[in-house]
Amino acid sequence: MDPDSVAKAFVEHYYSTFDANRAGLASLYQDGSMLTFEGQKIMGSTNIVAKLTSLPFQQCQHHISTVDCQPSGPSGGMLVFVSGNLQLSGEQHMLKFSQCALSDGNFGDRYRRIDENTSLRFGLKLEISSEFLHDIIVVYN
């Protein structure tokens, strides 16, 4: 699978799952996964999903504007940038968000994610792709 297809498949799967059933994201995280959310460090799949499901909005829809991907490094890595809008149920205005991912080219079924302000990583297990992603930055405005 080419990098553009891998990036688009991951983005589509993650955000459609987030929007429809955040508890369904549990299979993407592992026990050693870590999420840093507004300075709070959350460890493990169960705790991460608990945090995501406890967000102050229950229904939302991500509208992806761009998924840009370019090769990175000699081992077949790639850089992925995602941007779009987040529509919260009952809200007139959308929130903007962006996300950046860097793949080191190692093949496997895990994705890694880091907060924009830290170097803490957590693994995401994804069944739809064999590409290894890490260093994802998520920013909601």
Could you identify the residue written with the tokens 């229950």?
58
Neighbours of 40 (CB within 10 A): 9
Cβ-contact 37, 61 below 8 angstroms: no
Neighbours of 97 (CB within 10 A): 19
Q: Report the sign of the C-alpha dihedral through residues 102, 104, 106, 110, in that order.
A: negative
**pLDDT of 107-126, one tens digit each?**
444 444 433 322 222 333 33
Distances (CA, A) of 58 to 30, 33, 42, 94: 23, 23, 20, 15
**pLDDT of 38-58, one tens digit each?**
778 888 889 989 999 998 888
Predicted confidence band of residue 33 (pLDDT cuts 50, 70, 90): confident
Quick one: what percent of the chain has pLDDT higher than 90?
A: 28
Alpha-carbon torsion angle 54, 57, 63, 66, nearest 10:
-50
Report the predicted TM-score, pTM, of the whole model to 2 decimal places. Answer: 0.66
CA distance 72 to 91: 39
